[in-house]
Amino acid sequence: MSDITAPPRPLAAPRKRNAEATRAAILEAAKSHFAVLGYDCAILRDIARDAGVDVALVKRYFGGKEALFVEALRASFLSDALRTWDRATFARDMANMLAGSPHADEDRTHRFQFLLRAATSPNTAPLLNVLVQDRFLEPIRSWLGGADADARARVLAASYIGFLVERLIRGEALVGRERDVFVDRVTVIFDALLSEPVGSI
Amino acid sequence: MSDITAPPRPLAAPRKRNAEATRAAILEAAKSHFAVLGYDCAILRDIARDAGVDVALVKRYFGGKEALFVEALRASFLSDALRTWDRATFARDMANMLAGSPHADEDRTHRFQFLLRAATSPNTAPLLNVLVQDRFLEPIRSWLGGADADARARVLAASYIGFLVERLIRGEALVGRERDVFVDRVTVIFDALLSEPVGSI
DNA sequence: CCCCGAAGTCAATAGGCGTTGACATGTCCG
DNA sequence: CGGACATGTCAACGCCTATTGACTTCGGGG
């Protein structure tokens, strides 16, 4: 279906028989493939080949493609970085991160690519609802606190996603005046989202 | 591949033999399907069925799936919708559209869904580079005008995309107070992006 | 040392989809 | 009126993929 060649991944040296290791290898390859190609275009055979195993083992260890996907998605969202943010500087820090730096967090980008691809395929979008709710929206919500935290979390998450997409498309980090303008604008947005509603909105 | 049922589309009354009309019908159905399901999950047979024609005609009139997709993509961006937006009400209109509603501009949402889905599939992403630059970023940039239009267009597009993704994940339209809060917040954001930079920023 | 279950391999199956070319039929011009 | 070309229909092909179950091999405990 896809004419895109499989993602680069060094084929591991032949393992001794080890269920846990092969399971992990499959999961790792799956995360990579699903992130780059999306659920629909990712091919179990290729994933298995990169993991250095036979396709049938995917069934044995995970049950099927969809189950493997869910597992890979879960595994990609283990770390919860949100609680370490400082509310006072959150907006500007976030803006700076989104503007990009030469030493940007590769892992974060990768994980997010996964999320985005999963969100935009009709096959996997339904699976995402729960996960996003539990591991993304809910943390943001409780971190925000205050009135209408739910709706505000929604907007915050949406903005965050949008800038990450833009970052992915853009590729390179911003510099100079363009960066300054970008950071200022984004800071305003996130600051507005942190504040509680005023008046009778 | 997809367990999503085909999008609702009234099957047209049987036409007289008319090449132009059937071609248009196929294209219309294709736009809808590609927007909702994406390139990979859209099925030619379903598109043809919605258009009320046989699959083979897709080949006759367009040559193949990919050619049909390109044509549909082009057709979806023919009308330049941006210029019709009223700057005064832009922010709130946009926010309402993103919140979702039965009476929202279904067509516009469709077009951008189309764009997003096309951008996130490895099969179709390469086709998009020029299109996005010419028909998306550049129009926004010139529509915004003023100082630092480039960076502001970047932020606007990013926000837009973010809310679009959030809408896709969310699925259903917001209602009640949650919707009000959402709309107000988003309105603030877009309003901020419309304004020119102040001071020495 | 041997055997039994776990780990890994293999080939076949079933279903879906894009594509294709032969066939039927309506419409219009001479 | 009648044939010819455009339009529309049909069935089948070929390829790809997930899935499945039977088979083989390793490796450790009795």
Share of chain B above pLDDT 70, in %: 83
Question: In this predicted model, what pLDDT tens digit does every residue of B86-114 receive, in sequence order?
Answer: 888 889 988 988 887 755 566 767 787 88
Q: How far is the CA of B160 from the C1' of C21 (A)?
A: 47
- Give which of B54, B107, B49 is closest to B81, Cα–Cα: B107
Dist. CA B143–CA A1, nearest whole Å:
38
- Asked if the Cβ of residue B60 lies within 7 A of any atom of strand D, the reply is yes
Question: In this predicted model, what pLDDT tens digit does every residue of A164-179 receive, in sequence order?
Answer: 877 777 777 888 888 9
- Asked if the Cβ of residue B44 lies within 7 A of any atom of strand C, the reply is yes
Dist. CA B23–CA B20, nearest whole Å:
5
Which domains does chain A carry? 19-75 (1.10.10.60), 82-194 (no CATH)
pLDDT value at position B102?
57
Phi, psi of A103 (to 5 degrees): -105, 40
Mutation site, A115, A166, A191, A201, interface B, largest B CB count within 10 A: A166
Question: In this predicted model, what pLDDT tens digit does every residue of A24-81 receive, in sequence order?
Answer: 999 999 999 999 999 999 999 999 999 999 999 999 999 999 999 999 998 887 655 6
Find and list the nucleotides of strand C having atoms within 7 Å of a protein beta carbon. 6-11, 16-22, 26-27
Residue B8: is its pLDDT beyond 60? no
Q: How far is the CA of B54 from the C1' of D3 (A)?
A: 27
Dist. CA B165–CA B171, nearest whole Å:
10
Dist. CA A47–CA A37, nearest whole Å:
11
Q: Determine the distance in angstroms separating the CA of A18 from the nearest CA of chain B, rounded to an integer.
A: 33
Dist. CA B96–CA B179, nearest whole Å:
9
Dist. CA A153–CA A163, nearest whole Å:
15
Mutation site, B133, B169, B193, interface A, largest A CB count within 10 A: B169
CA distances A45 to A16, A17, B127, Å, are 21, 20, 27
Confidence band for B2, pLDDT divided at 50, 70 and 90: low
Q: Determine the distance in angstroms separating the CA of A24 from the nearest CA of chain B, rounded to an integer.
A: 26
Cα dihedral sign for B153, A117, B42, A41?
Answer: positive
Is the Cβ–Cβ distance between B151 and A181 less than 8 Å? yes
Sorted by sequence, the CB contacts under 8 Å of residue B19 that are 6+ apart come out as: B61
- Asked if the Cβ of residue B91 lies within 7 A of any atom of strand C, the reply is no
Dist. CA A120–CA A38, nearest whole Å:
9
Where does residue A171 fall: left (phi above 0), alpha (psi -120 to 50 degrees), or beta otherwise? Answer: left
Sorted by sequence, the CB contacts under 8 Å of residue A136 that are 6+ apart come out as: A77, A157
pLDDT value at position A33?
96
Taking all residues of chain B, what is their mean pLDDT, rounded to a whole number? 83
Average pLDDT over residues B140-169: 83
pLDDT value at position A23?
96
Q: How far is the CA of B43 from the C1' of C17 (A)?
A: 8
Torsion of CA B93, A113, A98, A104, to 10 degrees: -170
Is the Cβ–Cβ distance between B93 and B85 less than 8 Å? yes
